[in-house]
Amino acid sequence: MEAARSASHQGGAASQWSPARIYLVGSGVFLVFVSVAGFAVNTSFPTDASQVSATSEHIFGILETNGWHNLAGLVSGIVALGFGLRPEWARVGALVKGVAYVVVTSAIAIGGGDRLLIASNAADQVVHASLAIGGLATAAMTPRSKSG
């Protein structure tokens, strides 16, 4: 009993649920759920930009998707959960995810999702921008770990 209590206190602040860790777990679960739902409605993997709009479907009638978009969301969600498993990696994980979603949001806004073979609409862009802001904000709110 004493050994378990001692082990639980060794992590100190790093073992607590920081803003970055909460963001990573919450966004990871959300992305995995939405991606699985997306694969339930659309498994097309267009290989040409002209096929993207013709083969896209909507998740819950809101988020436009196709197989590539579902796969990207699934990978992003799994990576977020991986970073969230290690409290000392949470700040870096949230920062990486925030920057990645700034790039995604910007690339789709500038060039359109079709060029990237990803079906995307305005609702998707709200999700992408929210993930970007959330990642950057929670990384900024989370103190650096003592080990890094």
Domain ranges of the chain: 17-141
The CA distances from residue 68 to 21, 105, 118, in Å, are 27, 16, 6
Q: What is the pLDDT of residues 47-95, one digit of tens each?
A: 998 888 888 999 999 999 999 999 999 999 999 999 999 999 999 999 9
Any bridge partners for residue 57, and if so which?
65
pLDDT tens for residues 4-33? 444 444 455 545 899 999 999 999 999 999
Interval 116-141 mean pLDDT: 96
Contact between 119 and 113 (Cβ < 8 Å):
yes
